Amino acid sequence: MLRQIQETKNFLNSKTTTKPFAGIVLGTGLGNLSTEIKNKTAIPYSEIPNFPISTVEGHNGELIFGTLNNVPVVAMQGRFHYYEGYSLQECTFPIRVLKALGIKNLFLSNASGGVNDNFKIGDIMLITDHINLLPDNPLIGKNITELGPRFPDMSEPYDKTLRSQVINIASANNIKIQQGVYAALSGPTFETPAEYKYMKTIGADTVGMSTVPEVIVARHMNLPCMAISIITDLGIEGKIVEISHQEVQEVAKTAEPKMTLIIKELLTTIYTKN
Ligand code: HPA
């Protein structure tokens, strides 16, 4: 894997001079955040050596280098999911590459189903912790010591400082933000009412199909993470209605201005402190 990471890194460095300070994984419906990126170099995943190819509608599949609020960033427009049939090592390979490119922080976004009674459709939730219910872990297999330890600590998967900065930014801008635990399931089926109930029982606030593998790999490499989830539907007894991928994307889009503002402000806050 080290050889592939190096090969992909060399390829990307031959395409751009941007030295990204942060990596951003743009989830469902948030692809437009990338339109805010200036001095862009966009490289389709299909041209990047060793990258898998995204298959999901609404995930365009490009790596975008540029600046956001004058901070050098690299954004993944489109991510890889376990339900697409990739191994978790494949899904998380891009995160290995972003770290090799020198990012100091990783921001992620996703769409999820709310199981906390206080949540409403369209709410955004700062992820404070997660539960990995995927039937796999991206670190299974021989450990590569150069990348991180065999048994990585997970006591603070989502960086405390970044979280408190997000809370401050949200409150300064009158943005309501929930906080809670995200549980990752394989999908591609959405949950049954009994499964949503089970999620709530085990301590989840939202349920989704991504993010956790990327965060595990980022933490393996000691990369600080911040993730925000958009509640696109509710898995709350009495409020469960039929949903589709399209509806999930539509609701996620409505949260885009809030997400963009938070990510831009957070970048400025941490970049100037750096
Ligand atoms: N479950 C799983 N993934 C999701 C959901 C959901 O309810 N909503 C958006 N992504």
Kindly report the protein residue whose alpha carbon is nearest to atom 6 of ligand 1: 113
Instruction: Give yes or no for residue 27 CB within 6 A of ligand 1.
Output: no
pTM metric for this prediction: 0.95
Give me the mean pLDDT over the 214-222 stretch.
98
Looking at domain 2-273, its CATH superfamily turns out to be Nucleoside phosphorylase domain (3.40.50.1580)
Q: Mean pLDDT over all residues of the chain?
A: 93
Percentage of the chain exceeding pLDDT 70: 96
Rounded distance from Cα 193 to ligand 1 centre (Å): 12
pLDDT higher than 80, residue 55: no
pLDDT higher for 91 or 250? 91
Domain ranges, ordered by start, for the chain: 2-273
Residue minimizing CA distance to atom 10 of ligand 1: 112
- The band of 146, judged by pLDDT with boundaries at 50, 70 and 90, is very high
What is the average per-residue pLDDT within 7-13? 97
- Cα-to-centroid distance, 235 and ligand 1 (Å): 9
pLDDT tens sequence across 154-201: 999 999 999 999 999 999 999 999 999 999 999 999 999 999 999 999
CA of 233 to the centre of ligand 1 (A): 7
DSSP one-letter string for the chain: -HHHHHHHHHHHHHH-----SEEEEE-TT-GGGGGG-EEEEEEEGGGSTT-----STT---EEEEEEETTEEEEEEES---GGGT--HHHHHHHHHHHHHTT-SEEEEEEEEEE-STT--TT-EEEEEEEEE-SS--TT-SS--TTT--SS---S-SS-HHHHHHHHHHHHHTT--EEEEEEEE---SSPPPHHHHHHHHHTT-SEEESSSHHHHHHHHHTT--EEEEEEEEEE-STTT-----HHHHHHHHHHTHHHHHHHHHHHHHHHHHH-
* pLDDT score at 207: 98
- Locate the ligand 1 atom nearest the alpha carbon of residue 113 and give its number: 7
Pocket test for ligand 1, best of 209, 211, 229, 253 (most atoms within 8 A of CB): 209
Check residues 33 and 162 and name the one with the higher pLDDT: 162
The answer on pLDDT for 241 being more than 90 is: no
Report how far ligand 1's centroid is from the alpha carbon of 4 (Å).
32
Ligand 1 pocket member 157 (CB < 6 A):
no
